[in-house]
Every structure is written in structure tokens, then in C-alpha cells.
Amino acid sequence: MVPCFPALRHKVHFLVKMCDIMKQVQQKHIVLGITGGIAAYKAAELARLLVKRGITVQVAMTEAATHFITPATMQALTGNPVLIDQWQDDKGMAHIQSTRIADAIVIAPATADFIAKLANGLANDLLSTLCLARDCPLLVAPAMNKQMWSNAATRRNIQQLIADGATMLGPVSGLQACGEEGMGRMLEAAELARDILTLLKDSDLLDASSLIRSPEERGLKGVKVLITAGPTYEAIDAVRGITNRSSGKMGYAIAQAAQEMGAEVTLVSGPTALARPSGANVVDVSSAADMFAAVKQHVDDADVFIGVAAVADYRVLQPNAQKIKKNSGNLTLELTPNPDILAYVAALPEAPFCVGFAAESENLHEYAEQKRLAKKLPLLAANLAQHAIGADDNELTLFDDEGEHRLPRTDKLTLARALLLHAATLYQKGKSHEKN
């Protein structure tokens, strides 16, 4: 029986809770697939981090991968025999059973060759067979030369994998083994481990990940965040409209990063081809007026508002209900300004903490700071539109009362995390001032 000392009872209760969580986490099983790329060395650290968090890791390697890192190393780190050859014992195809108990298969690194296999359903070695016969999510961490990454065939294969339900983890832009610099570098092991835990958040790993992360990384726990993302579409007639080239990738990355930090996310999204972020309350809209209405509906519950959407500045004053027939003459459209959603939210009597975005084509610093001051925003993130729209990577300059803070070019999810860490610091500082 525990003595009646409150501090001791609390400590015992905490230890019991920790034991329960670790027992639950230990039930999780991940197949870590390693293919033949120089980034295979990062798989050793990834395996170590996952095992440290109580996850059972079963490594499966291609023959090419064994030229970069040894099976003995991976067996020592995971405590499990490494699978390489589907005929390596008398059970033959029984290795397929590895996927039946797996919560996910993670391919890290995933070479261009192996991605092509996955996209086309090939199963000519053990690892590709495991992936094709899986009954669990597939997470893919690409790693390759920048030319391979940008090749049209690789782009098609990536899009096919996404369409088939696979989740891409990275890549990022950085220095590559060939000495060049560009997109194609695999995420670091710590980033991959965090993403894996986040993507399995429907499991008991969610509670474990909240214990693992630092207080700074959980700086939005319980905070209600309202985000706008993507383009808007302004109808001209029944079939035509005015829109822009925004892909929505940055807004969706911010939604994921906010969830990682513990926020309750509502995402108001214009038309995009992106997968809906799991766990977020997604409100689909089309026009700027639709987006404005959705924001007004949800803003009263928001603690933080992040306006990432590329909202059309103008709309057609009188769109035609039927298709306008083509003729040899000119067509004149009368445009009228759309509402400024960010300005409206920032001017509310009890406005949430507002983060604005500015995409400029020139004079970035001058125009961005002018916009921040005019709308009385505590934080504004700005970039050159011609370097960001539709791309998987970006760079941002943050403007606040303390000045400018540059976030160097990297993938948009990494940028989103850095942006939100800065925003959370300002938000929490503002809340502290309110209490005082």
C-alpha cells in the first residue's frame, strides 16, 4: 500500500501511467525497408530512435542496400533478424506474414528505382513483395540525385504512389552525395521518426509522442487554429472562371505542423488536388465569398488565424449563368474587389492571433512590411511567388515587431514547423502579457 504522501502518490501514479503507455507502444510494429542508396546510413539512426520509443522494428533490405550498410548493424540495433532473401530459410514466402502484424511499412531510403517498382506493382524481390502484399499504410522517404528527382518519370511515379494512398515523407533540398545541391535529399532520422509517430496518431503512439517532444514543440497544445489554404475560383460563366496557380501545399503543411504541435485545426481550403490532412476539420470552398463565409462561421472559436490562401483580389461582378458563346469580338468583364479576409479577422474586437502571408513578385521586404503594418498583424510570412507557387520547397522571411527572420529554402513541411514554432512563441508571449 502506498503511504499517504501526496508527492509520492503522484509520482507512483505517473510511473504506472508511463508503464501502461510503454506497454501499448511496444505492441506497435513497423517494417523498415532499406534500399540501395547512400542515405541508408540514416536508416540505422531511424531504427535506433524508433526502438528507443518502444516500437518493434523489423528490417527488410534489398540486396543493393547491403552494399551501403550491413544487415549485422541493423540486427544489432533492432534485435531482430534482417530479411533480405525471400528464400533465405525453409519457410519461403512465410516472410509475407511480416506485413500482417505491421502497423506501417516505411521505406527509407526509397531510391528512384524502388519507387518505380512500387508505382508499377512489381514484386521481384523480398521488399517489393512485402510492399505489394501489405495490409497496412506505406510511408516512403525518397532519396536521390536532384536530376533523378526532377525527372518526368520519377514525378509520374511519385504522383501514382500518392494516388494509390502512399504517404511521402520528404525529400528536402540540400547538399547531396554527388556534391550537387538541390531537391532529393532524404529527411534526417529525427524528422522521419517524428513524422512516423504523427502519421500513426490514431494509435496509442499519439500519447507517447506527446511525452517525447519538448514543450516548445507542443506549444500549440489545445489551441484552436483556423487556416485558409489554396486558391479561390471566381466564376465568369457556367464553365469558365478566374483562379491562380496556388497549389495549397504550404497551407496543408501548416495544418499538419499545427496538429503535430497539439493544435485543434480547422482548414478552410480552396480547390486543390491534395490529400485531406487526417485529423483536421476540413471545410471545402470555391470562391473568395465562400471562403469568407466559412471563416466568419469558424473564427469566433479560433485562438490563432493563419491566412495562407491565395484569395483572388477581384471577382466578376455579374457572372453569366450560361456559357458565354465565343464570337469574333472582344469580351469585357467588369471586376469588383473581393473582401479582404485577413484584414477583417485582424480588425475584429476580440481578434485571434493573426499570421498573414504575402506572395510578392518584387520589393519583397518593402511590400511585406507595409502589409503587416497596414493590417496590424503580429506576424507575417513573405516569399517571392515565382519561386514558390506549385513547388515542393520554399523559403520565407518572417516579419514581426522585432524585425525580419529568414527561414532558408527547404521543404514546405519543415518551413511550416519553423514558422509555427516562431508563431507559438509570439502567441504564448501575448497570452502572458494579457494575464499580467
Domain of 368, in residue numbers: 217-316+332-435
How many other β-carbons are positioned within 10 Å of the β-carbon of residue 119?
20
Within this chain, do residues 105 and 225 fall inside the same structural domain, yes or no? no
Q: What is the mean pLDDT of residues 275-299?
A: 93
Instruction: Give the residue from 169, 199, 229 where a domain finishes.
Output: 199
How many other β-carbons are positioned within 10 Å of the β-carbon of residue 32?
28
Among the residues of 261-305, which ranges form H helices? 288-298
Within this chain, do residues 73 and 191 fall inside the same structural domain, yes or no? yes
Q: What is the mean pLDDT of residues 391-402?
A: 86
Domain-located, residue 11: no
Q: Which of 197, 116, 76 is closest to 59 using CA atoms?
A: 76
Within this chain, do residues 33 and 145 fall inside the same structural domain, yes or no? yes
Q: Which helix (H) or strand (E) holds 278?
A: none
Within this chain, do residues 143 and 190 fall inside the same structural domain, yes or no? yes
Quote the CA–CA distance of 51 and 47 in Å, as a whole number: 6
Neighbour-count burial of 340, counting CB atoms closer than 10 A to its CB (0-12 exposed, 13-18 middle, 19+ buried): middle
Q: What is the mean pLDDT of residues 278-302?
A: 95
pTM of the model: 0.56
Q: What are phi and psi for residue 24, nearest 5 degrees?
A: -65, -45
Within this chain, do residues 281 and 429 fall inside the same structural domain, yes or no? yes
- The domain that holds 289 is classified in CATH as 3.40.50.10300
By the 8 A CB rule, do 371 and 356 touch? yes
Within this chain, do residues 162 and 308 fall inside the same structural domain, yes or no? no
Domain-located, residue 179: yes
Within this chain, do residues 184 and 259 fall inside the same structural domain, yes or no? no
DSSP 98: G
Within this chain, do residues 141 and 243 fall inside the same structural domain, yes or no? no
Q: Lowest-confidence range among 126-135, 273-282, 345-354, 399-408?
A: 273-282
How many residues in total does the chain contain? 436
Checking if the pLDDT of 201 tops 60, the result is no
Q: What are the cell numbers at 332?
A: 469585357
Among the residues of 164-302, which ranges form H helices? 189-199, 205-212, 249-260, 288-298
Within this chain, do residues 181 and 279 fall inside the same structural domain, yes or no? no
Domain-located, residue 326: no
Neighbour-count burial of 83, counting CB atoms closer than 10 A to its CB (0-12 exposed, 13-18 middle, 19+ buried): buried
Domain count, the chain: 2
Active site annotation includes 19 = no
Within this chain, do residues 231 and 345 fall inside the same structural domain, yes or no? yes
Among the residues of 56-125, which ranges form H helices? 71-78, 112-120
- The domain that holds 179 is classified in CATH as 3.40.50.1950
Domain-located, residue 130: yes
DSSP 165: T
Instruction: Give the residue from 167, 199, 231 where a domain finishes.
Output: 199
Domain-located, residue 396: yes
Q: At what angle do helices 205-212 and 189-199 cross, to 10 degrees?
A: 140
Of 131, 136, 178, 354, catalytic: 178
How many other β-carbons are positioned within 10 Å of the β-carbon of residue 152?
7
Q: What is the mean pLDDT of residues 65-79?
A: 95
pLDDT band, residue 27 (cuts 50/70/90) = low
Quote the CA–CA distance of 422 and 428 in Å, as a whole number: 10
Checking if the pLDDT of 194 tops 70, the result is yes
Domain-located, residue 205: no
Neighbour-count burial of 330, counting CB atoms closer than 10 A to its CB (0-12 exposed, 13-18 middle, 19+ buried): exposed
Q: Lowest-confidence range among 93-107, 135-149, 416-430?
A: 93-107
The DSSP code sequence of 30-44 is EEEEE-SSTTHHHHH
Q: How far is CA 96 from CA 90, 93, 100, 127, in A?
A: 14, 6, 7, 9
E-assigned strand segments in 154-293: 167-168, 172-175, 181-185, 224-229, 234-235, 241-242, 264-269, 281-284
Within this chain, do residues 191 and 222 fall inside the same structural domain, yes or no? no
Domain-located, residue 105: yes
Quote the CA–CA distance of 125 and 42 in Å, as a whole number: 22
Domain-located, residue 16: no
Instruction: List CB contacts of 175: < 8 A, sequence separation 6 or more.
Output: 181, 185
Instruction: Give the residue from 164, 199, 234 where a domain finishes.
Output: 199
Within this chain, do residues 120 and 37 fall inside the same structural domain, yes or no? yes
* 6-23 confidence digits (pLDDT tens): 444 443 443 444 344 334
> Which SS3 state, helix, strand or coil, does residue 387 take?
helix
